[in-house]
Amino acid sequence: MKKALLAVSFGTSFPDTRRETIESIEKDLQKAFPGRDFAHAWSSGFLRRKVKEREGIAIDSPAEALRHLAEEGYEDVLVANMHLMNGEENDALRKALLQVKDRFSRMTLARPLLAEDRDIVALAQVLAEAFSFAAEKELVALMGHGSEFPMENPYRKLQAALEQIVPGRFCVGTVEFEPGFEPVLQAAKAKRPAKIWLAPLMVVAGDHAVNDMAGEAEDSWNSRLKAEGFCTECLLQGLGQIAGVRKLYCEHAQEAKVL
């Protein structure tokens, strides 16, 4: 039986962070599953088109990648889910897989990074270690993208988990939706840290990290905090650059469930 490993990420139009994050996760996944042939896909149509126009690189959508795998005679496909949480893109991925699963003898799908409460705790532990260089009087502000959820907000859950592990050291905000920027500003005013480290809570350090977080515009997080008198330092490092995060993605793939 021919077996394949299909790694699905949102994608990015920033080549440097792509190599350091998405491709790094993909390499670790290939090492974790040496008995499977590798393929990858991006869920964002906008980013696929953008990279095709700018770099001439054609990247499959999940549906296209699965069609190619079926045509090549693969019967067992493990889909490694590189999304961050259960949001719109993840729902679209699941629907695309369900539409074609009958073309394969077996199809399994890994959960995204923050699918369950145990995942949130695991990521909090990884982040606490990854940012342990920050001094006690400093603050780490993490910028998530944000999304609408029918359940309790995972960003708030991550904040609570971090607070349990390293009290007063982290604050979690988002570009869009809840909780937004306000928790970051409140934490900064309450702690009056010697320095605020700004880092993206995203797989890649792409447009949001470069512009909404570290940009020079008045409404960027960096500018708003500086305007309040805080000393800041921006880390343009996506989650995919953290070895512990890549390990979590591999573990989720190993626990993939049959569709």
Report the catalytic residues: 145
Antiparallel, parallel or unpaired: β 257-258 and 106-109: antiparallel
C-alpha 133: how far from its chain's center?
A: 22
Query: In the 8-state DSSP scheme, what is residue 136?
Result: T
C-alpha to C-alpha distance for 162 and 170, rounded to whole angstroms = 7
Q: At what angle do helices 117-130 and 154-165 cross, to 10 degrees?
A: 50
Question: What are the start-end ranges of the E strands in 92-210?
Answer: 106-109, 139-144, 170-174, 196-200
Question: What are the start-end ranges of the E strands in 110-231?
Answer: 139-144, 170-174, 196-200
User: Is the Cβ–Cβ distance between 51 and 45 less than 8 Å?
Assistant: no
C-alpha to C-alpha distance for 59 and 162, rounded to whole angstroms = 36
Q: At what angle do helices 243-254 and 23-32 cross, to 10 degrees?
A: 50
Run of H or E residues at 211: none
